[in-house]
Chain A
């Protein structure tokens, strides 16, 4: 291996480290037990340098972008200094106030030693099916304190020098609804860490420990340079934008999200001081969550892909005052932090559209439609957590995509036939939702409709939704998209439900209908090609 200033050697090591994260990713994907991890792909893996800087990651969803980096930094700076970590230790935490984002996500880290020297840290983040608390899936729409949201695990060693800490595990299993699933997914995380450690050891053996350590530093520098080059191409100036969250589910709303992006040369300042104070309901975001949204928006703005790592953050200064919805203070509840993350992303993209109007689309639907059912039947209880999507925003060069994962999440849906095979629920409808998109020269993509009917004596339903009042915005004269709706159909009677609905008791025959937002339109609707509009009519995407 030649000197590390060599861009070839560096790129080879970057490939190897990224491959290590990919091998870890494959391990979780193939071995996790619960539906949410594998079908919803709600996990990520990463390799860090010896000091905890994120070097390579395999993030399946942007919300996890750099999230483990922020988490690890908090853990080692405030709780367990890295120098105390021994070979074979695995440190875990799920506490949003110890570097996490929300309670279902368990972060797990393992140091990698080569001949007594710590050369790297590997990490995984996995969304677990249930971590206890007052609602199934640990999504309590009416939580007002983090203590209600589930079991909090401060940074602790789940594994000490290769041996499972059975007492910590026992506490965890005792506090969750599906201990078998928790343990299954934790095992997948541990297996993934073992795979990652072996891969890093292999790299160190081939290229040398010193080269590996130097390469990590150089890789962060390279991403920093790429990020500076990208920012440098944007015109200097201050770009402000605001968007609103409907409410926190407990009476506060609309909630303002405001960003000013200031570009000076090759640096960017993202000032979120204009965001609303933190709220009572569980939609608050920790600073780590907000930082992921910022990283996402800026990386999405790049025209050529930039290797995402801790170096990307260096040219960006984030101002997020504590006590706001984008940097909540303990013990604010945060289970549904995706509400703020999505809105922060659409706000930041709205600001960036002023600097790069040719590549930023109108707003996507802008929320993770999380619906959970706990079914209670003679043969036992079952839990289903579904995350649905809406339409993409109209883009300067193309219509938005119908029913497509956009922005901060990247979820797979759950096959209807799998739902029905596993739980006493029938999905009675799964279709596109006509007229749900914003009109424009390029229209938005359509949202969708999904209906579930309860086929057992009793079920409990919880939803954490958004965009029921504030519509996904259009750009450049395009129209905003339709708002979403949630409806209970009982004995033929339709009742509108609130976007945040907690612990609704359902009985046999009850039907829940979810209608999601489309994306905003781009450009003047009058300028849309006649043929394109005629086709929309013929296909029933629009009715007029």
Chain B
């Protein structure tokens, strides 16, 4: 066991880089924020560590582990900053990547959509070879075919290569042969194989995921080089682990080879923190919501575990890898309100963002936003926004609400602003309900955990709308994601895809596959330096009724027979879809294994609230149709219950406690709001 030191969880966001620092020697947990440095994210990261070291008393040499969430991959895709890539694929199928799945989102739009072009057609190369669905070879990959493919590949002058052949998830021999040939002909050229990146059936999704991986390899590798150099220069020898979309972390070696695993990791830290909070507070079933300026992310924690999905997407491109299930809608403080066609009010999904931002930011924004409505209604205070570091323009907010909403709809400005808030909350509640509903769950059985800059103003109203009884406002809500990252585990997701009937006759094959996944998982964790007693394995199978095309992930503990597996499938199907058909044939499409290396937990004693009376004043807040005098508290000096109507201000966020709710400090500095006893 390494000697005690400092562990740091870091979440790099668009504006701020957030750190949570646990000093194992003293058992203290601290948080801080520093500005993100968009040109080289590692610069801000190092600045944050230096600042934290100064404030909290540790040296570079004391740092034992860095856990690090980054949007470097996400930003590269969103901004379309890609290196020059080539694709090798089965002859006759080079356009699979461009053809996609056809479906359009905008049913009535006539304007051609902007579709990201990952690898242009002249750099997609067909290879003469063919594997059948059962893995047998229909057309062998000859030396001549390989030589022709390599020649065509070199002619495109690629910086990175994706190889995605049909049915390679069943038989990867041709992909591996091509990789060897590329390595001989073009040493050092990064190669991504579909059979390694996403070994699952459905050629478009697998190809797109592999292409994204190829495009990200140079980007992420360059970042890791910069980060390593900066850490060495700063005298930090601690290992670095990176946050993946599945909520776990991975080594830099894995991130460099499979950077697509980082692609949708942005909300992972918050989700992981929600899961931790659920288990520590003894609220195993809760919904975590992160509301910022532009979006609202919903994750569901059930039985203190997060739901995962097998596929996500970015810019309309599928990413076929397990990831934490999130629902995101375009609703945030910056969402724009307007009078729509037919005299209806609309809010979002367009956002004024940070620039120009809401009208009240005084940066030239003319649109009426949710933040403007909150300010106008007294829910936000013009002078104390961000602890007074930024003064909001109440008159501008009022003018925008009047011009864009109230006058066109013939409402008073107060009614218009209240309408904007009410409509936003309806949309938030709808997103939460749908997230639970599609799993067959009822909001009444869940607590709501609200974080992010804009969540605190709307959380209780949304919870009330959904019939939820408790809202939790976590401590350090503004660095909450970094808190989750700090306690992440190493997770490797492994998969093997082959469509087989769920019958006992297929068990030998299925067991062989499971054993092979297990051996791979052990080897990966061993390479990460995880000792055997800290390894755990969660096997599962993606199953469906024959003819269905979407699968359910069914846990499949070792030792369970086919009957037990099928019984679990029927039960899950019934729970989620309200029916099951035990007589219908079932098939297994993919076998999975999540191999986890358990890292240390943070065991910090709860910080004692500061002594002294609560700082306290009052202000008028427009609630339920009238101006009401509400108490205003500061969170850091809160020691006892706060009954609504009240406002609790924090450094980066504000909580609104309506009448009928009481907010109580609970363990670890969290606050819990519940309906007042009648």
Q: Is A415 engaged at the interface, CB distance under 8 Å to the other chain?
A: yes
Chain B residue at minimum C-beta to C-beta distance from A225: B342
Query: Complex formed: what's the CA distance from A301 to B109 in Å?
Result: 8
Query: Complex formed: what's the CA distance from A222 to B426 in Å?
Result: 19
Q: Which of B92, B120, B416 has the most CB of A within 10 A?
A: B92
A41–B584 CB distance below 8 A: no
Query: Complex formed: what's the CA distance from A31 to B581 in Å?
Result: 11
Q: A401-B112, A416-B203 are in contact. Are A15 and B423 (CB under 8 A)?
A: yes
Q: Is B576 engaged at the interface, CB distance under 8 Å to the other chain?
A: yes
Chain B contacts with A in 82-127, Cβ cutoff 8 A? 92-96, 98-104, 107-113, 115, 120-122
Which one, A230, A417, A429, contacts B202 given CB within 8 A?
Answer: A417
Q: A403-B102, A417-B166 are in contact. Are A22 and B434 (CB under 8 A)?
A: yes
B133–A225 CB distance below 8 A: no
A187–B422 CB distance below 8 A: no
Q: Is A541 engaged at the interface, CB distance under 8 Å to the other chain?
A: yes
In the bound complex, residues from chain B placing their C-beta under 8 Å from that of A367 are none
Which one, A14, A184, A398, contacts B545 given CB within 8 A?
Answer: A184
B341–A34 CB distance below 8 A: no
A411–B102 CB distance below 8 A: yes
In the bound complex, residues from chain B placing their C-beta under 8 Å from that of A402 are 98-99
Which one, A8, A19, A184, A541, contacts B547 given CB within 8 A?
Answer: A184
In the bound complex, residues from chain B placing their C-beta under 8 Å from that of A180 are 547, 584
Chain B contacts with A in 411-461, Cβ cutoff 8 A? 411, 415-416, 418-419, 422-423, 426-427, 430, 433-434, 437-438
In the bound complex, residues from chain A placing their C-beta under 8 Å from that of B100 are 403
B423–A403 CB distance below 8 A: no
- Of the candidate stretches A46-54, A259-267, A303-311, A370-378, the one touching chain B is A303-311
Chain A residue at minimum C-beta to C-beta distance from B409: A7
Query: Complex formed: what's the CA distance from A103 to B499 in Å?
Result: 32
Q: A416-B93, A428-B92 are in contact. Are A541 and B121 (CB under 8 A)?
A: yes
Which one, B339, B411, B415, B434, contacts A19 given CB within 8 A?
Answer: B434
B108–A26 CB distance below 8 A: no
Chain A residue at minimum C-beta to C-beta distance from B552: A30
In the bound complex, residues from chain A placing their C-beta under 8 Å from that of B426 are 12, 15-16
In the bound complex, residues from chain B placing their C-beta under 8 Å from that of A22 are 434
Q: Is A181 engaged at the interface, CB distance under 8 Å to the other chain?
A: yes
Q: Which of B339, B342, B411, B578 has the most CB of A within 10 A?
A: B342
A430–B578 CB distance below 8 A: no
B interface residues, tally (CB under 8 Å)? 69
In the bound complex, residues from chain B placing their C-beta under 8 Å from that of A398 are 111-112
Q: Is B245 engaged at the interface, CB distance under 8 Å to the other chain?
A: no
Chain A residue at minimum C-beta to C-beta distance from B589: A421
In the bound complex, residues from chain A placing their C-beta under 8 Å from that of B438 are 23, 26, 30
Q: Is B616 engaged at the interface, CB distance under 8 Å to the other chain?
A: no
B111–A412 CB distance below 8 A: no
- Of the candidate stretches A112-120, A134-142, A161-169, A389-397, the one touching chain B is A389-397
Query: Complex formed: what's the CA distance from A411 to B416 in Å?
Result: 40
In the bound complex, residues from chain B placing their C-beta under 8 Å from that of A539 are 120-122
Chain B residue at minimum C-beta to C-beta distance from A35: B549
B92–A430 CB distance below 8 A: yes
- Write the B317-352 contact mask toward A (1 if CB under 8 angstroms, else 0): 000000000000000000000011111111000000
In the bound complex, residues from chain A placing their C-beta under 8 Å from that of B342 are 222-226, 229, 306-307
Q: Is A39 engaged at the interface, CB distance under 8 Å to the other chain?
A: yes
B101–A413 CB distance below 8 A: yes
Q: A11-B345, A395-B111, A541-B121 are in contact. Are A430 and B99 (CB under 8 A)?
A: yes
Query: Complex formed: what's the CA distance from A411 to B438 in Å?
Result: 23
Chain A contacts with B in 338-352, Cβ cutoff 8 A? 349
- Write the A268-299 contact mask toward B (1 if CB under 8 angstroms, else 0): 00000000000000000000000000001001
Query: Complex formed: what's the CA distance from A39 to B104 in Å?
Result: 13
Query: Complex formed: what's the CA distance from A395 to B112 in Å?
Result: 7
Q: Is A38 engaged at the interface, CB distance under 8 Å to the other chain?
A: yes
Q: A7-B409, A41-B103 are in contact. Are A15 and B547 (CB under 8 A)?
A: no
Chain A's interface size range is 35 or more
A448–B99 CB distance below 8 A: yes
In the bound complex, residues from chain B placing their C-beta under 8 Å from that of A39 are 549
Q: Is A319 engaged at the interface, CB distance under 8 Å to the other chain?
A: no
Q: Is B611 engaged at the interface, CB distance under 8 Å to the other chain?
A: no
B341–A306 CB distance below 8 A: yes
- Write the B287-317 contact mask toward A (1 if CB under 8 angstroms, else 0): 0000000000000000000000000000000
Q: How far is the CB of B292 from chain A (nearest CB, A)?
A: 21
In the bound complex, residues from chain B placing their C-beta under 8 Å from that of A301 are 110
Query: Complex formed: what's the CA distance from A30 to B577 in Å?
Result: 7
Query: Complex formed: what's the CA distance from A477 to B576 in Å?
Result: 54
In the bound complex, residues from chain B placing their C-beta under 8 Å from that of A256 are none
Q: Is A530 engaged at the interface, CB distance under 8 Å to the other chain?
A: no
Q: How far is the CB of B129 from chain A (nearest CB, A)?
A: 13
Query: Complex formed: what's the CA distance from A411 to B437 in Å?
Result: 26
B341–A416 CB distance below 8 A: no
Chain B residue at minimum C-beta to C-beta distance from A402: B98
Q: Is A491 engaged at the interface, CB distance under 8 Å to the other chain?
A: no
B98–A12 CB distance below 8 A: no
Q: Is A210 engaged at the interface, CB distance under 8 Å to the other chain?
A: no
Q: Is B132 engaged at the interface, CB distance under 8 Å to the other chain?
A: yes
Which one, B102, B340, B584, contacts A404 given CB within 8 A?
Answer: B102
Query: Complex formed: what's the CA distance from A243 to B351 in Å?
Result: 42
Q: Is B138 engaged at the interface, CB distance under 8 Å to the other chain?
A: yes
A410–B122 CB distance below 8 A: no
B99–A540 CB distance below 8 A: no
- Write the A452-496 contact mask toward B (1 if CB under 8 angstroms, else 0): 000000000000000000000000000000000000000000000
Query: Complex formed: what's the CA distance from A426 to B92 in Å?
Result: 12
Chain B residue at minimum C-beta to C-beta distance from A398: B112
- Write the A520-540 contact mask toward B (1 if CB under 8 angstroms, else 0): 000000000000000000111
Q: How far is the CB of B515 from chain A (nearest CB, A)?
A: 23
Query: Complex formed: what's the CA distance from A509 to B49 in Å?
Result: 66
A415–B344 CB distance below 8 A: no
Q: A184-B547, A395-B110, A403-B98 are in contact. Are A304 and B409 (CB under 8 A)?
A: no
Q: Is B548 engaged at the interface, CB distance under 8 Å to the other chain?
A: yes
Q: Which of A32, A61, A451 has the most CB of B within 10 A?
A: A32
Chain A residue at minimum C-beta to C-beta distance from B94: A431
A27–B577 CB distance below 8 A: yes
Chain A residue at minimum C-beta to C-beta distance from B109: A300
B422–A360 CB distance below 8 A: no
B103–A412 CB distance below 8 A: yes
A195–B113 CB distance below 8 A: no
Q: Is B201 engaged at the interface, CB distance under 8 Å to the other chain?
A: yes
A300–B99 CB distance below 8 A: no
Q: How far is the CB of A413 from chain B (nearest CB, A)?
A: 5
Q: How far is the CB of B342 from chain A (nearest CB, A)?
A: 3
Chain B contacts with A in 390-412, Cβ cutoff 8 A? 409, 411
Q: Is A106 engaged at the interface, CB distance under 8 Å to the other chain?
A: no
Known: A224-B342, A304-B340, A431-B99. 4 other contacts (CB 8 A): A19-B433, A349-B110, A399-B112, A410-B104
Chain B residues within CB distance 8 Å of chain A = 92-96, 98-104, 107-113, 115, 120-122, 132-133, 138, 166-167, 169, 201-205, 339-346, 409, 411, 415-416, 418-419, 422-423, 426-427, 430, 433-434, 437-438, 499, 545, 547-550, 576-579, 581, 584
Chain A residues within CB distance 8 Å of chain B = 6-8, 10-12, 14-16, 19, 22-23, 26-27, 29-35, 38-39, 41, 59-62, 180-181, 184, 187-188, 191, 194-195, 222-226, 229-230, 296, 299-302, 304-307, 349, 359-361, 389, 392, 395, 397-406, 410-413, 415-418, 420-422, 426, 428-432, 445, 448, 451, 538-541
Interface pairs (14), CB distance under 8 Å: A7-B345, A8-B419, A23-B437, A30-B438, A31-B577, A31-B579, A33-B584, A35-B547, A225-B341, A304-B340, A306-B341, A402-B98, A417-B169, A431-B94
